[in-house]
Structure 1
């Protein structure tokens, strides 16, 4: 596993930090406060209000020296919300380095300077999957999803392998490279913009460096309740499985073994396999979030929940042809 470490950049170019925000009144104030406490000073903060129906816009307006890009209409035909918001943030930015950061991210004060230093070291794109912080019991149900997303990107591998894409919560890139691939406009109708942006950079010969947030970048993915968690993972899961490439096959094979063990719960073999899966899941998951030994011990509950969400997502993709997120229906 590679964690984003604190680094001091060799120089201090202007950074445009862009936060796409759709109905984020619960999060937007917290992230803006955290961004204004960054140790990196040459920073412009841009919040893109993606036609929110809550108080996102009003909260942002209370902060000084924060640029508000107010999108008061739905995305144009052919565009999907987050890609449209990110693109408009870029169009209203001036920085040599662009950082796209989801509104639920909780950056430590040294986050921006560490991202800038890392971007300047690599010829391409840097993305981060934050450490998951929990406050409520239901949030632990993210365990299976978290392990699958990170594992499919190759972040659990002990070998240096070519990534399948990028993580979406935090993406940092030099402006000239973003422009050379046409950024988010290159896949404006895509739901999984993070994976597609990473693939786009790889196809154009750039490096993609993926990190885990550790203690530097954290987030609470779905703080509003189990319904939001279910809706969010339903939106992404089935589409993501078909977009991650060969590494997902390895994760899938691992899951086959896991579910096979669960299916033989009354056999003597299960007595042997179960503790092995418990130890493996515990050692890996505790580095990615506030997961406990109890989460690993009762891993069948987490992975059965994953199956339910996966098949609901598959049904929506195949038959309904649309998913819903934050009050907006998205065609898939």
Structure 2
């Protein structure tokens, strides 16, 4: 039985390595603005005073020469608007707009992105979050990959500099889930909506295609705006690329462990289609294959301390560490976090159940001071 278990875990490692080869990475590009058109960078902000200064500094250093940057203050109750006005003065690439009242049934970020798109003039739109930091060459590198792959949408999971303990366990796991669970070949080479993943902090679209599919108006009430927007592009026959953007984008997602908890609670159960079956399956799957190896490892150490060498008990843990380490290296995460994979899996399991309970009890998911059902 242990031999079969080891073969399964080995297969997981091999699959993850092979699958990752179907995710293209952003590379240096010399694309120039006059040739390739105006790019509109669109950023919704709600109570983002902790991010404004570093965000604007990052945007000021962008080297693509044909940019407009539109920032929407979404009824912030902190100093977001004042900081935006103070940090963008003197740079005519920046425009600040104030968000309108949220219509009934719309979700906050989706409506903010919709308003931003109405103000944009670019041939391409780059939607980013306020907690994202772009490398100077990010825009032209993204355009180059879109043109090379003839794609209408490009998205990617950024690198995540993590400091909080819950953040370290859970946030890099996003990369692992994509590299392991999503068949990246069909995702990037077909327009099948079922093979879709996206990250809302970084989405670039061809504006003409975006208008054709109805933009964010077509997903007005979703909590998963990134995935649902990408699926609509695919349903209309447009190619969407999920790329490794970690060389060009960093995301400082959370500022407290509570934010980590609420963020994953908001996304997990809705992200699984509110399916109790999928939650149950993943709970058992991660328990068997990613938590149990830690207990086997300790059992092996116990036997070794008592003079019995049984190396096969150590191998399952080493295999899941190797699998996680492969992903962490490719996505610019701290490799030592791979040794905590069983703890990350356990935290993921707990949040799966919690997210489902909140969804089934109709308490509503709380995010940015708003509650969504």
For the criterion TM > 0.5, the same-fold answer is yes
Aligned-partner Cα distance in 2 for 1:153–1:167: 14
Give every structure 1 segment of 4 or more consecutive aligned residues whose post-TM-superposition deviation is greater than 6 Å. 156-159, 247-254
Q: Any conservation in 2 of the 1:128–1:170 contact (CA below 8 Å)?
A: yes
Aligned-partner Cα distance in 2 for 1:158–1:262: 32
User: How much does 1:309 deviate?
Assistant: 1.4
User: How much does 1:5 deviate?
Assistant: 1.5
Structure 1 counterpart of 2:264: 233
2:73 corresponds to 1:44? no
2:233 corresponds to 1:191? no
User: How much does 1:152 deviate?
Assistant: 3.8
Aligned-partner Cα distance in 2 for 1:165–1:144: 14
Higher strand share: 1
2:327 corresponds to 1:277? no
User: How much does 1:52 deviate?
Assistant: 1.3
Structure 2 counterpart of 1:134: 162
Aligned-partner Cα distance in 1 for 2:62–2:159: 19
2:49 corresponds to 1:25? yes
Structure 1 counterpart of 2:6: none
Structure 2 counterpart of 1:107: 134
Structure 2 counterpart of 1:219: 251
Q: 2:112 aligns with which of 80, 85, 107?
A: 85
2:144 corresponds to 1:144? no
2:361 corresponds to 1:319? yes
User: How much does 1:263 deviate?
Assistant: 6.2
User: How much does 1:137 deviate?
Assistant: 4.3
Q: Any conservation in 2 of the 1:140–1:291 contact (CA below 8 Å)?
A: no
> Counterparts in 2 of 1:191-210, with a 5 A limit?
191-210=223-242
Question: What residue ranges of structure 2 are gaps of 5+ in the alignment?
Answer: 1-19, 301-309
Aligned-partner Cα distance in 2 for 1:159–1:118: 12
Aligned-partner Cα distance in 2 for 1:96–1:55: 32
Q: How many residues of Structure 1 are paired with residues of Structure 2 in the alignment?
A: 326
Q: 1:70 aligns with which of 98, 101, 112?
A: 98
Task: Report which stretch shifted further, 234-243 or 51-60.
Answer: 234-243
> Counterparts in 2 of 1:243-322, with a 5 A limit?
255=286, 256-262=288-294, 266=299, 270-293=313-336, 295-322=337-364
Aligned-partner Cα distance in 2 for 1:213–1:154: 18
User: How much does 1:177 deviate?
Assistant: 0.3
Q: 2:208 aligns with which of 176, 194, 213?
A: 176
Aligned-partner Cα distance in 2 for 1:173–1:303: 33
Tell me, what secondary structure is at the counterpart of 2:241?
Answer: strand
How big is each residue's C-alpha offset from its partner over 1:82-101, in whole Å with a ceiling of 9 and x where there is no partner?
10010000001111111101
Question: What residue ranges of structure 1 are gaps of 5+ in the alignment?
Answer: none
